[in-house]
């Protein structure tokens, strides 16, 4: 056997990036730089060429970087050196990236004119104007800041999706799942709404895969009116929105867990799984973070329920004869629905919930009480003397913009890639609740095979301490699990498997693990 080694066959090079990777990074940065020039109103050619070149360079840079990083290497787990790299371990590069992203979101949400958005029908300038030709091509109108954002967002998911697929060349679950989020972003979030506008320009923007309360604006008065004034298509869309919440979502979550949405369809999840993959290990696994998560996400959920109800309430009438859905009927329906959910859960799951049942009960009565108060004390527009439109704009500002955008994505390199999904998303709260209570999904722990190494917990983007369950031989049934499958992939001993199976035996706490004395297992585990 030869003593000479081919160093290029090595698994990784944590001492730095290879020349190919440096060139690729340069190409990508050049693409970004062209967009920055456009931001400062410096255009080297016409918009169509600038945009094509810039987006091409960005995408090409990411693809070339990926190829330099993974191709020619063995198929397997590729996490070498992630805690040594500045960008992925909250180093200087990580912080700089975080600041830039956060600044971008601030400008995008609150100062779009800085990006060149034309005020009051004026022509776009700067960065946004560069996107005009593409927007014209797709929908026949000029670009907005949201079109710019949507385009960049889609590019990020597609290019980094390619990277993720290459990283997990040995894992078909990861590949198919990533293909799915790439498809839904490109088709449902980006292209179809633009085409819909072209076909029927009165329709409000509707990303078909987005479900309330994620698209909390769908039941706003202008939105509902927009749909209803567009005949059968509009009516069908709004009915689809309602069916999505009450029928489609519960069925799919029952069968597959919330992953069908969070890591297969959702755009926020899509970005986290692709562009955010390098930051997944940064989520906190502390018990204290879990406690914060539970309070925060459910508070946002209550906020969104009350806010939406109040919004709809304001534009409904009092008179039966005009429209069957009056303020009174609506409040009655909401209360009836919440009561139904509450009673069913208390009846079937009281024991499982333990102490949490108390918190759930308190939450339920707070919501009901505020709804009733709203109905009987509030004027036409006020809830506790706060205008419901104020409530709506507060929600849009703090939750829709600051939490999901600025913190959720801007802080990727600091808090990890799923800070919004974990701490803030009301949709995730609802799906998670269903997943925990009524779902066939679980992560099965393979008997006694866990060696407590901690790869699963480290790489869980949702900050679940997966190991805490696996090392007890216990299946993982957690409301926050988005089913990305990475814990299973990185496990060196084949201990974890995401699967849908019968509800019985899904939650199986044990003290003595499989492999020991059967009598001892019987004695200790029977309880």
Q: How far apart are CA 87 and CA 186, in angstroms?
A: 27
SS3 of 444, please? strand
Shortest gap between Cβ of 89 and another protein (angstroms)? 8
Please, which residue, 67 or 89, has the CB nearer to another protein?
Answer: 89
- Classify strands 441-445 and 496-500 as parallel, antiparallel or unpaired: antiparallel
Footprint on this chain of another protein (rule: CB under 8 A): 1-3, 5-7, 9-15, 74-77, 79-85, 170-173, 176, 286-287, 444, 446-449, 451-455, 457-458, 467-468, 471, 485, 488-490, 492-494, 497-499, 511-520, 523-524
A 10 A CB-CB count for 123 gives 10
A 10 A CB-CB count for 85 gives 16
Asked if 460 and 466 touch (Cβ cutoff 8 Å), the reply is yes
Shortest gap between Cβ of 487 and another protein (angstroms)? 11
Shortest gap between Cβ of 495 and another protein (angstroms)? 8
Shortest gap between Cβ of 101 and another protein (angstroms)? 24
Shortest gap between Cβ of 492 and another protein (angstroms)? 4
Shortest gap between Cβ of 164 and another protein (angstroms)? 15
Q: How far apart are CA 95 and CA 273, in angstroms?
A: 20
Shortest gap between Cβ of 257 and another protein (angstroms)? 12
At 287, list the tokens: 């018990």
Shortest gap between Cβ of 473 and another protein (angstroms)? 9
Please, which residue, 208 or 451, has the CB nearer to another protein?
Answer: 451
Please, which residue, 161 or 234, has the CB nearer to another protein?
Answer: 161
Please, which residue, 12 or 394, has the CB nearer to another protein?
Answer: 12
At 367, list the tokens: 């919501």
Question: Which of these, 163, 429, 156, 151, lies nearest to 270 by C-alpha position?
Answer: 156
Please, which residue, 309 or 488, has the CB nearer to another protein?
Answer: 488
- Residue 170 makes CB contacts below 8 A (sequence gap 6+) with 75, 76
Distances 287 to 72, 290, 292, 358 between C-alpha atoms, Å: 41, 5, 9, 20
Asked if 423 and 350 touch (Cβ cutoff 8 Å), the reply is no
- Residue 4 makes CB contacts below 8 A (sequence gap 6+) with none
Q: How far apart are CA 477 and CA 458, in angstroms?
A: 18
Please, which residue, 306 or 498, has the CB nearer to another protein?
Answer: 498
SS3 of 441, please? strand
Shortest gap between Cβ of 62 and another protein (angstroms)? 22
Please, which residue, 132 or 174, has the CB nearer to another protein?
Answer: 174
Shortest gap between Cβ of 250 and another protein (angstroms)? 22
Count CA atoms within 13 Å of residue 462 on its CB side.
28
- Residue 235 makes CB contacts below 8 A (sequence gap 6+) with 227, 228
Question: Which of these, 392, 222, 192, 242, lies nearest to 304 by C-alpha position?
Answer: 392
Please, which residue, 231 or 509, has the CB nearer to another protein?
Answer: 509
Please, which residue, 207 or 277, has the CB nearer to another protein?
Answer: 277
At 249, list the tokens: 């979502």
Please, which residue, 356 or 501, has the CB nearer to another protein?
Answer: 501
């Amino acid at each position: 056997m030869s003593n000479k080694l081919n160093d290029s066959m090595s698994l990784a090079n944590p001492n730095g990036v290879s020349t190919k990777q440096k060139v690729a990074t340069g190409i990508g940065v050049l693409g970004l730089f062209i967009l920055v020039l456009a931001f400062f109103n410096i255009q080297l050619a016409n918009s169509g060429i600038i945009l094509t070149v810039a987006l091409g360079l960005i995408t090409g840079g990411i693809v070339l970087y990926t190829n330099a990083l993974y191709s020619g290497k063995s198929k397997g787990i590729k996490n070498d050196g992630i805690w040594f790299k500045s960008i992925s371990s909250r180093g200087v590069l990580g912080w700089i990236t975080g600041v830039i992203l956060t600044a971008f979101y601030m400008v995008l949400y609150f100062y779009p004119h800085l990006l060149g958005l034309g005020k009051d029908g004026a022509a776009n300038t700067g960065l946004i104007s560069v996107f005009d030709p593409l927007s014209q091509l797709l929908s026949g109108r000029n670009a907005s800041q949201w079109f710019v954002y949507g385009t960049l967002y889609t590019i990020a998911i597609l290019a980094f999706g390619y990277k993720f697929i290459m990283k997990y060349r040995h894992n078909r679950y990861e590949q198919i799942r990533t293909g799915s989020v790439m498809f839904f972003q490109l088709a449902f979030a980006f292209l179809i709404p633009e085409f819909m506008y072209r076909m029927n320009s009165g329709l409000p923007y509707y990303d078909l895969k987005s479900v309330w309360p994620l698209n909390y604006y769908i039941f706003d008065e202008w939105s509902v009116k927009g749909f209803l004034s567009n005949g059968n298509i509009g009516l069908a869309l709004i009915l689809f929105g309602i069916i999505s919440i009450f029928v489609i979502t519960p069925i799919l979550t029952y069968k597959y867990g919330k992953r069908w949405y969070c890591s297969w369809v959702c755009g926020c999840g899509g970005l986290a799984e692709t562009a955010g993959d390098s930051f997944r290990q940064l989520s906190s696994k502390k018990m204290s973070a879990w406690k914060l998560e539970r309070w925060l996400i459910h508070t946002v959920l209550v906020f969104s329920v009350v806010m939406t109800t109040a919004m709809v309430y304001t534009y409904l009438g009092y008179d039966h004869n005009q429209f069957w859905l009056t303020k009174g009927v609506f409040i009655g329906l909401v209360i009836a629905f919440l009561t139904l959910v509450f009673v069913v859960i208390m009846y079937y799951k009281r024991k499982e919930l333990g102490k949490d049942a108390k918190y759930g009960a308190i939450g339920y009565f707070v919501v009901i009480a505020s709804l009733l108060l709203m109905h009987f004390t509030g004027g036409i527009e006020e809830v506790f003397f706060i205008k419901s439109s104020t409530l709506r704009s507060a929600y849009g500002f703090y939750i829709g913009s600051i939490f999901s955008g600025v913190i959720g994505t801007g802080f990727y390199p600091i808090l990890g890639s799923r800070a919004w999904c974990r701490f803030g998303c009301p949709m995730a709260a609802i799906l998670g609740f269903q997943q925990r209570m009524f779902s066939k999904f679980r992560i099965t722990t393979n008997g006694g095979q866990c060696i407590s190494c901690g790869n699963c917990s480290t790489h869980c983007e949702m900050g679940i301490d997966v190991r805490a369950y696996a090392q007890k031989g216990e299946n993982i049934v957690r409301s926050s699990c988005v089913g990305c499958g990475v814990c299973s992939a990185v496990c060196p001993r084949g201990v974890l498997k995401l699967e849908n199976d019968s509800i019985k035996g899904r939650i199986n706490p044990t003290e003595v693990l499989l492999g020991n004395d059967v009598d001892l297992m019987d004695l200790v585990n029977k309880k």
